[in-house]
Amino acid sequence: MDEELHERIRDAVTTIPPGTVATYGDIAALAGASTPRLIGRVLSEDGADIPWHRVLRANGTPAPHLVHRQLELLRGEGVLADGQRIDLRTYRWRPE
DNA sequence: GATCTGACTTCGA
DNA sequence: ATCGAAGCCAGAT
């Protein structure tokens, strides 16, 4: 069922605690997605009711068009970005 | 149906 | 550090 994967991705993103961030690859692996691309696609479709701003790219930088928005939202949660890149080793969410 | 596009990642040069 | 190519999924044209 594709819908299950869809919801699983949303669930994984929603599971990210505040003040923490995760990469697309992490969400993909966590949700069982075969490719991180699905994460971005799902967020663009249903990323309205979930903390999509806690999802960053592999190098710690948000998407090009959302970079400004991301940094602002994250800043409000206590996640300070070093200029344009976020310290993944500091803020990266790790599932227990 | 085929083609393009898009919140991506990873490797090699 | 920068660039290009390949792999991958779903929706839109």
pLDDT (tens digit per residue) in A32-61: 888 899 999 899 888 888 999 999 999 999
Stated in angstroms, how far is A44 CA from C12 C1'? 14
Q: How many other β-carbons are positioned within 10 Å of the β-carbon of residue A46?
A: 15
Positions 6-45 of A with beta carbon below 7 A from strand C are 34-38, 41, 45
**A18 belongs to a structural domain:** yes
**A10 belongs to a structural domain:** yes
State chain A's mean pLDDT as an integer. 89
* Sign of the alpha-carbon torsion through A54, A64, A59, A9: positive
Q: Give the nucleotide at minimum CA-to-C1' distance from A3.
A: C10
We report the CATH number of the domain holding residue A87 as: 1.10.10.10
Alpha carbon distance A55, A72 (integer Å): 13
Stated in angstroms, how far is A69 CA from B3 C1'? 32
**A51 belongs to a structural domain:** yes
**A13 belongs to a structural domain:** yes
Predicted confidence at residue A17, as pLDDT, reads 94
Report the number of distinct structural domains present in chain A: 1
**A57 belongs to a structural domain:** yes
| Contact of A27 with A13, CB cutoff 8 Å | yes
**A96 belongs to a structural domain:** no
Predicted confidence at residue A19, as pLDDT, reads 94
Stated in angstroms, how far is A29 CA from B11 C1'? 20
Asked if the model's pLDDT at residue A1 lies above 80, the reply is: no
Domain of residue A65 covers 2-91
List b or e across A52-66, with b for residues whose CB sees 16 or more CB atoms inside 10 angstroms.
Answer: bbbbbbeebbbbeeb
